């Protein structure tokens, strides 16, 4: 099954592609789990993803690190829950793949506190809806739902996929991209169905 293949890939430190509904953003995002990411993950997203590299986190992590919303009134088309951007205090400029990975993985470490991060910075946390994709069918929630399915830390890395002409990839062009990079592609609809079936089988 595609979702199971995606889970296996993520556990091995690979990226997957997650697409949302054609009536929503109609985009594909690269998704990786912070726990298994490397500097190569960040570099690939920057070079081959070309979109904004963001870091979905659970509401609990955001609360623990005092990650406030980026703006008081969120007028984003889909209500994406950006927090203030951050850099870990041990980074240099904050923008290199190594620096961004350091910041992202520091979000997973319970001994870190709010004052271990500079604000603003070069990493963009996104707070996932606690209800997951069942409550909000976004890439943020999909990434954290996958982290839960992998029994991993609830910190992920996502990046929209843009062609070298500046146009977001979708449909056939996204399928060719996935094939050329040997990346498993799943839809948020498939993930939602998988989670629903899993809950039924577990009697929840």
Q: Range of 13's domain?
A: 2-203
Within its chain, how far is the Cα of 34 from the centroid? Answer: 9
The 10s digit of each residue's pLDDT in 39-65 is: 999 999 999 999 999 999 999 999 999
The residues facing 186 across adjacent strands are 18
In the predicted structure, residue 108 carries a pLDDT above the cut 80: yes
Q: Is 91 left (phi over 0), alpha (psi -120 to 50) or beta?
A: beta
Q: Domains in the chain: how many in total?
A: 1
Please give the pLDDT value at position 203.
55
Please give the pLDDT value at position 50.
97
- CATH code assigned at 88: 3.90.870.10
Please give the pLDDT value at position 200.
62
Within its chain, how far is the Cα of 64 from the centroid? Answer: 19
pTM of the model: 0.95
Average pLDDT of the chain to the nearest whole number: 95
Please give the pLDDT value at position 23.
64
Please give the pLDDT value at position 198.
80
Percent of the chain with pLDDT over 70: 96
Q: Please give the backbone phi and psi of residue 106, each rounded to the nearest 5 degrees, phi first.
A: -65, -25
The 10s digit of each residue's pLDDT in 13-42 is: 999 999 987 766 678 999 999 999 999 999
The mean per-residue pLDDT over the stretch 138-156 comes to 97
Please give the pLDDT value at position 180.
98
Those residues with Cβ within 8 angstroms of residue 199's Cβ, 6 or more apart along the chain or in another chain: none
Q: Looking at the chain, which runs of residues are DSSP E strands?
A: 16-19, 28-33, 50-57, 86-88, 117-127, 156-161, 185-187
């Amino acid at each position: 099954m595609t979702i199971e293949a995606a889970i296996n890939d993520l556990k091995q430190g690979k990226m997957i592609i997650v697409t949302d509904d054609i009536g929503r953003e109609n985009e594909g995002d690269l998704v990786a789990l912070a726990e298994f990411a490397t500097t190569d993950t960040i570099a690939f997203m920057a070079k081959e993803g070309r979109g904004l590299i963001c870091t979905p986190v659970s509401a609990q992590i955001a609360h623990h690190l005092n990650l406030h919303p980026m703006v008081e009134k969120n007028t984003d088309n889909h209500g994406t829950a950006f927090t203030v951007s951050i850099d870990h205090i041990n980074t240099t400029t904050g923008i290199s793949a190594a620096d961004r990975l350091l910041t992202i993985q520091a979000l997973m470490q319970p001994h870190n506190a709010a004052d271990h991060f500079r604000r603003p910075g070069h990493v963009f946390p996104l707070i996932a809806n606690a209800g997951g994709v069942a409550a909000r069918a976004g890439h943020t929630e999909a990434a954290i739902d996958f982290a839960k399915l992998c029994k991993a830390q609830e910190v992920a890395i996502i990046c929209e996929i843009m062609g070298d002409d500046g146009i977001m990839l979708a449909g056939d062009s996204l399928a060719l991209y996935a094939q050329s990079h040997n990346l498993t592609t799943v839809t948020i609809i498939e993930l939602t169905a998988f989670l629903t079936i899993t809950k039924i089988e577990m009697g929840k």
